[in-house]
Structure 1
């Protein structure tokens, strides 16, 4: 069903108008058809064809919105993802309740070039995949409804066709050299909006307060949508506090409705403050009363004061706040960019539950849903335009960057969570043009920086990794990847201190490392012995490659979760000892797809997330929780490590991540003592035990205490003492079935049938029969081509209530089969 979001206004006749229903917004989620190719012309989308007509080509498929063209092929190991035109079509029953009202299509985001048609009339176009925009259908709809075609062929409904195009184009941002997919499709919500002839285009509300919170000021400015040039209106504004109590109201008659208009300057004593811990928001309501009817809406605002201290930390409402951050790409298993509101909410809540109070939205303006959640959850925001890699293009390129910066700032101006506007990312990365001129990049960066301050002088500007522009913006983040692309993770603090000295205001965004989910290691730091230290920790050209160049963990490490938890653990314990640090942001929260990493253990996936692409938590998630959260938690490392290995009688380390003051560990029911937590006692803040596992099954449990609260955790695993040779055979077994979904597991054994628990062979699944592999998800358990994790790999099969045979292949080994 179409989802209706209605607002009704019942008002008397104030300016000689008849009261009618207020602005209505309808999500157009259903009854769409999709075509993953171009058409010869718009006529092919609307021409009449009968059922069964063999000339009804090309063939369209039924889809729901949001929808991404690259929902599956972005991580298909065998193809390049599709970049080109696609089409969407539907018919809409349009019934605007306003006399002379406007009928609009509001796009929350579509990639990357978009054209809108009513029947065969082109009504609008837009360039840019991430900012919101609106197409006014009114004239074309009114004209079409008068035709016989509308009455006879379409039974009074209006055919709407939309062409999206994510073709490669050097004169567009972001660059196709970027480390993320440039998706196509209507991948955010699309809304049908009815408004009176006079309505609100944008309401700008600036909420300010001093650092002590003793006084506040609200400044409100309006921009109207007035295509019929209505001459006057009455504006009613009301402000209510977070408890719903009316603070103040005002009315104003306006004659000039064609320019931005100052509406209200309100002084407040001791406003309720918005903060990361208590994200309390005021509600600003508006009514526009005119001869066209009434338009009404609300905006949320938050009073807060922030400061990036020069050569110092970050302050929120007069107190130091260490920004504990992460990053977000708009990407998810099975749908790519087309995330639903429920999934977005789940993801953002998981971030907050991990302890996040800061996020960099990478590397483009994101959905209004995300910003609303940041406001309500208390997550401070760095949001940026997609000037990412490739160099600097010509006039068309620059104009898109200016337009997208303007749109981002104006569309997200009212969000209390936003503190930084990002001008770009990795703008020192050449490749799209024959010329790479640093001075021209500096000139344009300064232009964008000045434009940002002109549009919004209440926020600061920022960029990451473009040292020759570091002096142009307010806040700068250099490239520091200690322990991954360069150096050892123990270099982190010293490198950060050196970079801190170079700039006026320092923040560190992007750090971490890749981990192949469910891969674990008994000696994760082994590769560090090959790494040269003291040479910096920045990422350089070619460092992301898995081949060639100097030794580096990104190439020579084992990509285990075991290594990543050590890297994260070290960074977090060091950050607690850096009083000058404004904050950091781990890269990223969730694994995401990328066209530039085809050889990763899950092909085409950047696997640096602390959760997988389907939001399955990796072990590193709990390391963050142990440092960043207050609600008592405890987690034993190794929940997805079914087989550990070593010699008989050898003691093996067990790590426990907890925010509790103490923990007691048990092996097979026997206590191995209580340990106190000390964040500076690396690893695991002192909560680590060396235990003598028994051959076969072991049970490890922990009881941790924080004040009067007790929390527990437990894992089970087998301990293998037999030595193994290289993999010589595969076995394939069904290990689970839930309803119509079966899970199969491949294992690698040597020639003596001993499991090879460190095997990393490439695994290829295939299927014949009535079922379907649940693959192309970009996860360790949702890819038909994947590197083994500890001598095994799993995948799920939708049986479709029939019979299937699954096969698994690995180079040099005999194929294995299982019947389902």
Structure 2
């Protein structure tokens, strides 16, 4: 599916003139004296490499920190970087304007056409546009440069993500403040009078019997055209015409109201049926035709006081997660295909809600939420650190205005977030609670002025909880504080403490591929009651006993915690909903000592989309299509005494499941969501030594669905790790896996070992590392005594070294 590229104005005359500038870019890490040095290098580099910085060829989107964000040995780069490209500009329109549209760039950006500055922007997450028409004309007057560049126009961009206390977000935030052109850049040709942002307001009455649509638009009119005509069309989800209007337009105004019309019995938008209407606005003038279209939806919602969430007159339990714009090997520079894959995976898991943490995200994300039926809380990047001065506050106001204006038309959006953890000090010597509250009040007022219908919200700032419409306190039952069995009581207390409650952020860190026979071991000292995360609770050292410090970080424990939360939510009629933190593992500068360094590992999928076990726990509660999953697909060897019964859990939404061990039925069990764990779909199984095949068959609505795993079973006891056993196996013609297993001095695998191991390489090949995944890191904690990494041979031979503290380093050759 090809997405319409949105911009200030894209469609004109009879041809849509919009082009993504993805190819033929050069990138330079670091600073130069100015745009002339970027041009000088292009003109003079041949024969003078000693005096010229080295530029790398890149494609967009591109992020400074694609690799160093999760490099265990460096601090990720924060500073300037330069981009340049040379493009053909052939505007076919008489007196037409040529625009560059940036879908997002981090964090401070300056743009030049040749040596001419044409625009700058502060803020890494909202969209912005610069008009380069006059600068292109000026450049073309320099015949010498035009000849040297063969008629192409040089575009030079400086991005800078340097630490700045007067810029949002704070560097204390639990995510990287990335740099670069990490979203798409578009070249657009528009008439001298064109459409800017459109505001298409679609409302529907409570009964859903009648909808009202009002349409307004910003005009871009640098040459002062006085009059125009607008045509407005509304098309139904099936493409049929619903309404057409023609109106005269006073083009001297910056913003114009175009029309209002009613729609009888509109098809409502919901997670189950995300019906989207298309509103087309066509502006005609002496300059030509500018056309834009937006997809809108009719829906109404309400947060009941101390009660649930209502959509289109019915209760809807919001089943949510969170998203950071971050991915293995590219960091923030996710392509459209990557974004679509991620959003479709969320829908596959059963999500109907997402909080976009902690900044305005790509317009592609919002389009996917509209299409898939995922309700949205989107927020500005006022995150931690306290509050800065007037420059800081003006950025927050500007980003709030831009976020609401740019994403207003999306029916998926129901909440504008004003901040996150704003009770977290650190960027100034003194934390001014009153100043934070006053600014929160200001932002709340501004949000309602810009959009009276949507709600405002914040997470974790108790002294501001009465300011916004919807409040989310800190409830981390079973991880940062308390036990997961405290969840329901903590939530009910919070629900009663505010008019409108939502539970954003809960979960557990889980090192992918690590499993446990005893996930609650060492947790006896963890007290119950308080579940409110406080500063320092994420530390792996000191403080009171807590699972985040004292737990095993296994997928086993995380699945139990999630299972408990989901079963409880089914018995909480007052609950609006919750959002698990997060959907996908992501990089963060404040967690260097995690099992995968610099990665927040609470995701239900890894940073490269590989599903963890938790994905299927959510599916078993949130989806309708029959599914069955035996816990432990990535658990190669289980352990225990000979003849000891071991727990086998099956996560399924089927009514009944039958389990087989080595072809023999162990009986059927019926699903009961309140029978913890695994909704009663669990068996105590006695494995034989060696290999065991387990199969589960689910039954639902006359259908059968199956899953199976093969586990080894180790009955020998082991001592301390003493030997690194290294093996290889081929993944493809050019890539080989290197796997290490920690054994004791007798050669018995240490299946509960958690030591760090290091992979290094010399030779022609390279390690496929710095991906921020359990199998894509050169420094990583072992999972059940083993770790692996992939080697790209590059057509030659290499030697890989594997080391772990206190053990003899091992070497293995790769050809």
Aligned equivalents of 2:396, 2:6: Cα separation in 1: 35
Alignment check: 8 A CA contact 1:3 1:26 kept: no
Alignment check: 8 A CA contact 1:610 1:619 kept: yes
Deviation digits for residues 285-308 of structure 1, max 9, x if unmatched?
Answer: 111101111111210000001111
- One of 736, 744, 758 as aligned partner of 1:742: 736
- One of 275, 278, 281 as aligned partner of 1:283: 278
In the TM superposition, what is the alpha-carbon distance from 1:24 to its structure 2 partner? Answer: 1.2
- One of 33, 37, 60 as aligned partner of 1:40: 33
Which SS does the other structure have where 1:527 is aligned? coil
2:692 is aligned to: 698
- One of 782, 785, 795 as aligned partner of 2:776: 782
2:23 is aligned to: 30
Deviation digits for residues 764-784 of structure 1, max 9, x if unmatched?
Answer: 000011000000000000000
**Equivalent residues in 2 for 1:642-657, closer than 5 Å:** 642-657=636-651
Alignment check: 8 A CA contact 1:6 1:23 kept: no
In the TM superposition, what is the alpha-carbon distance from 1:3 to its structure 2 partner? Answer: 11
Alignment check: 8 A CA contact 1:420 1:461 kept: yes
1:145 is aligned to: 140
Which SS does the other structure have where 1:530 is aligned? coil
1:231 is aligned to: 226
Deviation digits for residues 129-178 of structure 1, max 9, x if unmatched?
Answer: 00000011111001111211333211111011100000000000000000
Alignment check: 8 A CA contact 1:37 1:86 kept: yes
In the TM superposition, what is the alpha-carbon distance from 1:23 to its structure 2 partner? Answer: 4.5
In the TM superposition, what is the alpha-carbon distance from 1:599 to its structure 2 partner? Answer: 0.3
Aligned equivalents of 1:738, 1:682: Cα separation in 2: 42
1:599 is aligned to: 593
- One of 375, 378, 381 as aligned partner of 1:380: 375
Aligned equivalents of 2:252, 2:485: Cα separation in 1: 60
Aligned equivalents of 1:54, 1:386: Cα separation in 2: 41
1:470 aligns with 2:465: yes
**Equivalent residues in 2 for 1:155-554, closer than 5 Å:** 155-534=150-529, 536-554=530-548
Alignment check: 8 A CA contact 2:604 2:614 kept: yes
Aligned equivalents of 1:799, 1:696: Cα separation in 2: 34
- One of 708, 715, 719 as aligned partner of 2:709: 715
Identify which range, 429-438 or 356-365, moves more after superposition: 429-438
**Equivalent residues in 2 for 1:582-731, closer than 5 Å:** 582-731=576-725
Aligned equivalents of 1:505, 1:6: Cα separation in 2: 34
Alignment check: 8 A CA contact 1:22 1:296 kept: no
Aligned equivalents of 1:134, 1:193: Cα separation in 2: 10
Flag the 1:258–1:678 CA change in 2: closer, same or farther, 3 A. same
Aligned equivalents of 1:175, 1:292: Cα separation in 2: 45
1:14 is aligned to: none
In the TM superposition, what is the alpha-carbon distance from 1:435 to its structure 2 partner? Answer: 2.1
Aligned equivalents of 1:186, 1:406: Cα separation in 2: 22
In the TM superposition, what is the alpha-carbon distance from 1:50 to its structure 2 partner? Answer: 4.7
How many corresponding residue pairs? Answer: 809
Aligned equivalents of 2:44, 2:284: Cα separation in 1: 46
Provide TM-score, normalisation by structure 1. 0.97
Alignment check: 8 A CA contact 1:6 1:24 kept: no
**Equivalent residues in 2 for 1:63-142, closer than 5 Å:** 63-142=58-137
Which SS does the other structure have where 2:771 is aligned? coil
Aligned equivalents of 1:249, 1:3: Cα separation in 2: 24
Identify which range, 776-785 or 146-155, moves more after superposition: 146-155
In the TM superposition, what is the alpha-carbon distance from 1:54 to its structure 2 partner? Answer: 2.7
Which SS does the other structure have where 1:526 is aligned? coil
Deviation digits for residues 466-507 of structure 1, max 9, x if unmatched?
Answer: 010000000000000000000000000000011111101000
Aligned equivalents of 2:316, 2:64: Cα separation in 1: 41
In the TM superposition, what is the alpha-carbon distance from 1:259 to its structure 2 partner? Answer: 2.7
Aligned equivalents of 1:376, 1:624: Cα separation in 2: 21
Deviation digits for residues 504-559 of structure 1, max 9, x if unmatched?
Answer: 1000010001000000000001233120112x101101000001100000000000
Alignment check: 8 A CA contact 1:23 1:196 kept: no
Which SS does the other structure have where 2:57 is aligned? strand
Aligned equivalents of 1:21, 1:4: Cα separation in 2: 16
Alignment check: 8 A CA contact 1:513 1:564 kept: yes
Which SS does the other structure have where 1:134 is aligned? strand
Aligned equivalents of 2:109, 2:251: Cα separation in 1: 33
Which SS does the other structure have where 1:492 is aligned? helix
Deviation digits for residues 268-315 of structure 1, max 9, x if unmatched?
Answer: 111110001000100001111011111112100000011111111000
Aligned equivalents of 2:198, 2:617: Cα separation in 1: 42
In the TM superposition, what is the alpha-carbon distance from 1:789 to its structure 2 partner? Answer: 0.5
Aligned equivalents of 1:633, 1:785: Cα separation in 2: 35
Which SS does the other structure have where 1:512 is aligned? coil
Aligned equivalents of 1:508, 1:4: Cα separation in 2: 34
In the TM superposition, what is the alpha-carbon distance from 1:200 to its structure 2 partner? Answer: 0.8
In the TM superposition, what is the alpha-carbon distance from 1:716 to its structure 2 partner? Answer: 0.4
Aligned equivalents of 2:146, 2:423: Cα separation in 1: 57
Alignment check: 8 A CA contact 2:63 2:332 kept: yes
Aligned equivalents of 1:174, 1:512: Cα separation in 2: 23
Alignment check: 8 A CA contact 1:357 1:380 kept: yes
Which SS does the other structure have where 2:64 is aligned? coil
Which SS does the other structure have where 2:216 is aligned? strand
Aligned equivalents of 2:309, 2:49: Cα separation in 1: 66
Deviation digits for residues 39-81 of structure 1, max 9, x if unmatched?
Answer: 0222110012153433451000000000000000000000000
2:757 is aligned to: 763
Alignment check: 8 A CA contact 2:13 2:290 kept: no
Aligned equivalents of 1:97, 1:162: Cα separation in 2: 25
Which SS does the other structure have where 1:814 is aligned? coil
Flag the 1:441–1:681 CA change in 2: closer, same or farther, 3 A. same
In the TM superposition, what is the alpha-carbon distance from 1:735 to its structure 2 partner? Answer: 2.4
Aligned equivalents of 1:807, 1:22: Cα separation in 2: 58
1:567 is aligned to: 561
Which SS does the other structure have where 1:183 is aligned? coil
For structure 1, the residue ranges without an aligned partner over 5 or more in a row are: 12-18
In the TM superposition, what is the alpha-carbon distance from 1:395 to its structure 2 partner? Answer: 0.3
Aligned equivalents of 2:456, 2:209: Cα separation in 1: 27
Flag the 1:6–1:112 CA change in 2: closer, same or farther, 3 A. closer
Alignment check: 8 A CA contact 2:112 2:155 kept: yes
Flag the 1:220–1:5 CA change in 2: closer, same or farther, 3 A. closer
Provide TM-score, normalisation by structure 2. 0.98
- Aligned CA RMSD, in angstroms, stands at 1.5
Aligned equivalents of 2:88, 2:182: Cα separation in 1: 23
Aligned equivalents of 1:255, 1:180: Cα separation in 2: 46
Alignment check: 8 A CA contact 1:240 1:284 kept: yes
